[in-house]
Amino acid sequence: MKLEIKDAPGQLVAALKPISEVGGNIIAVIHQRDEKQRGKMLSVQIVLELPEQRLKDLTRLIREQGVNIQRIGHERLLYQKTVMVIGHLIHTDLGDTVDRIDCTGFAEVTELNISMPAITQVSSARLLIKSVNREDMEQAMAILRRVAKEKDFLLVEPLEEIE
Amino acid sequence: MKVAILGMGSVGKGVLKMIGEKDLDIKVTAVADSKSALMDRDGISIGEVLEAKRVHGFCGDKSLNAMEVVTGADYDALVEVTPTNANTGEPALTHIIAAMDRGHHVVTSNKGPIAREFSMLRSIAREKRVQIRYEATVGGAIPIMHTLDQGLAGNRILAIFGILNGTCNFILNRMADEGLTYEQALLEAREMGYAEADPTYDVKGIDPAIKLVILANTFWKKTVKLEDVEITGIDKLTNDALRLAEEQDCTIRLIAEAIPDRGILRVAPRLLPISHPLVVEGTFNAITIETDMAGEITLIGKGAGSIETASAIIGDLLYIRDRHEGSHSKTA
């Protein structure tokens, strides 16, 4: 996100403090001093990780500090799950398998590691799937289960703790 | 306490051996195997019976059989440890019902009758005011039933998940550690005596599913059946998949899980971090119980073996004796 803060001591800290209050993690702070055309204001770009559903709280808290939010960039996909898929992955159109997740728009396969021992044998693949939140991930997994059934894959899902 | 033992396989022999060696105040008044039986209200000689079985292949009088022991012998508790028949539960089911009808307690390691006819057996036990205990059916030596019934009494069980089949655990360990193929690891498991000649029940996940049914019937306030469990075995797993898992500090284990609130009853290979408490070595079993008060509890122990299973049987017998003090003859 891009913030506009007063060019005065303590202002940057005041703008960043709410991030830790909502449990966020600052990945980068880009401080651009040459954008001084706005007088005594300074633009700062912040790249951060936030727990799900906390963006609204964060923007409110930052505004309460008297900081103007100029722009909020892309929400990146932070919820992730690794699964294994075993079967005739190539002969059953691997592109289509990946596409079924990607085309949802709310989840995507961001990594694919595959091992293909021989043409007649089954392949094994590790997929990293990312989504914005848990509900989307559940839907993506439901799609993957359907695809696995349809294409006769063995799908190995992670064991998750009960909350 | 007087007990009659049906079945002289690995479990029956282990129970006899331990009753013979340890000062448990348990007297064996009858034994039966598939070919013969022996009864003596003053107590049989355990050493002689074990020796007869070893030398001749049967334990007693060929004109007597197990059912005659159930209906004719003098005992407080029947130890039913004949081989499991998962389809019908027989002949164990008939033995168990007949013993309870006579007003005797039953302790069994036999999964068939407990998984198939649990609610019927429980209502007969209530009606006849006897105990039916089956600690040895799940998790070998792990006292999972005692933990659920007594140790965690008053807790709400939110979930149970774990490794309930030592054979599959061994195979997956060997595939992960040595890069063996599934077929190679299965052959090795057979050579080590961990897998049956027909390993279907283990590797297709049916055995852990039966155990999951027994667990669910114990803690879940509804009757579940084997058909209610979603089952995926390990026979389609590849060592490549295990290697790909390991690249992420993970491994694959056959996990049985029951989550009442979500209606989940499932046995399937799952990805777990290598550091996870359920990632146990060899033929070990491991069970995690999630509860409302106690939080998470994980039990790890030997999932099979003659003496290990005898531990579970004897624990049940002594529990019954201590709960029903006075109603049984002291043998000391």
Q: What is the ipTM of this complex?
A: 0.83
User: Does some domain include residue A8?
Assistant: yes
- Selecting from A113, A154, A159 the residue whose C-beta is nearest the C-beta of B255 gives A159
**B321 Cβ neighbours under 8 A, 6+ residues apart:** B1, B25, B26, B76, B77, B328
pLDDT digits (tens, 9 = 90+) for B252-263: 999 999 999 999
B297: contact with A, CB 8 A cutoff: no
Say if residue A103 is exposed, middle or buried (CB neighbours under 10 Å; 0-12, 13-18, 19+): exposed
Predicted confidence band at B95 (pLDDT cuts at 50, 70, 90)? Answer: very high
Look at residue B331 and tell me whether its pLDDT is greater than 50: no
Q: Are residues A58 and A95 in the same domain?
A: no
Contacts of A115 in chain B (CB under 8 A): 238, 240, 243-244
Top residue of B271, B274, B275, B276 to mutate, by most chain A CBs within 10 Å, is: B271
Residues A44, A91 within the same domain: no
Angle at B70 between CA B66 and CA B76, to 5 degrees: 135
pLDDT single digits (tens) B38-49? 999 999 999 999
User: Residue A5's pLDDT is what?
Assistant: 79
> Are B245 and B252 spatial neighbours (Cβ–Cβ below 8 Å)?
yes
Inter-chain contact A117–B240, Cβ cutoff 8 Å? yes
Indicate the fold that domain B146-302 takes in CATH: Dihydrodipicolinate Reductase; domain 2 (3.30.360)
Partners of residue B163 on adjacent β-strands: B286
pLDDT at B193: 87
Asked whether the beta carbons of residue A157 and residue B241 sit closer than 8 angstroms, the reply is no
| Predicted structure pTM score | 0.84
CATH 1.10.760.10 fits B2-141+307-323, yes or no: no
* A58, A85: one domain: no
Residues A11 and A62 in one domain: yes
Residues A62 and A99 in one domain: no
- Residue A23's CB is within 10 A of a number of other CB atoms, namely 12
Residue A161 domain-assigned (yes or no): no
Kindly state the helix (H) or strand (E) to which residue B301 belongs, with its residue range. Answer: strand B296-302
* Amino acid of residue A102: D
Number of domains in chain A: 2
Q: How far apart are CA B324 and CA B130, in angstroms?
A: 9
Q: Alpha carbon A43 to chain centroid distance? A: 25
For chain A, which residues score pLDDT lower than 70?
32-39, 74-77, 161-163
How far is the C-alpha of B23 from the C-alpha of B25, rounded, in Å?
A: 6
Q: Is residue A62 part of a domain?
A: yes
Domain of A107, CATH number, reads 3.30.70.260
pLDDT of residue B327: 58
User: What is the token pair recorded at B193?
Assistant: 């005596």
How many Å apart are CA A55 and CA B90, to the nearest integer?
A: 61
Domain end call among A50, A71, A92: A71
Rg of the Cα trace of chain B? 20
**pLDDT tens digits, one per residue of B159-214:** 999 999 999 999 999 999 999 999 999 999 999 888 877 899 999 999 999 999 99
Q: Are residues A147 and A90 in the same domain?
A: yes
pLDDT, residue A25, reads 84
* Predicted local confidence at residue B332, as pLDDT: 39
Rounded to whole angstroms, the Cα distance separating B180 from B186 reads 9
The alpha carbons of chain A give a radius of gyration, in whole angstroms, of 22
With residues binned 3-state (H G I as helix, E B as strand, rest as coil), the percentages for chain A, rounded to 5, are 30, 35, 35
A37 and A83 belong to one structural domain? no
Residue A54 shares a structural domain with residue A106: no
Q: State the residue range of the domain holding A65.
A: 2-71
Closest chain A C-alpha to B251 CA, distance in angstroms: 10
Q: What is the mean pLDDT of residues B14-28?
A: 96
Kindly state the tokens that stand for B244: 């790909």
Cβ contact B13:B39 at 8 Å:
no
Q: Rounded to a whole number, what is the distance in Å from the CA of A124 to chain B's nearest CA?
A: 5
**Helix (H) or strand (E) segment spanning residue B320:** helix B306-323
Mind listing the pLDDT tens digit for each residue in B288-312?
999 999 999 999 999 989 999 999 9
User: Domain for residue A162, yes or no?
Assistant: no
Average pLDDT over residues B206-234: 93
pLDDT at B330: 47
- Are residue A136 and residue A86 in the same domain, yes or no? yes
Please give the residue of chain A at the shortest CA–CA distance from B255. Answer: A159
Q: What is the pLDDT of residue A36?
A: 53
A54 and A119 together in one domain: no
* Residue A117: predicted pLDDT: 86
Q: Which of A17, A52, A71 is the C-terminal boundary of a domain?
A: A71
Do A83 and A124 reside in the same domain of the chain?
yes
- Contact call for residues B53 and B47 (beta carbons, < 8 A): no
Residues from chain B contacting residue A126 (CB–CB below 8 Å): 241, 244-245, 247-248
Asked if domains B2-141+307-323 and B146-302 share a fold, the reply is: no
Give the per-residue pLDDT at A163: 44
Domain edge (last residue) among A20, A45, A71: A71
Where are chain B's structural domains?
2-141+307-323, 146-302
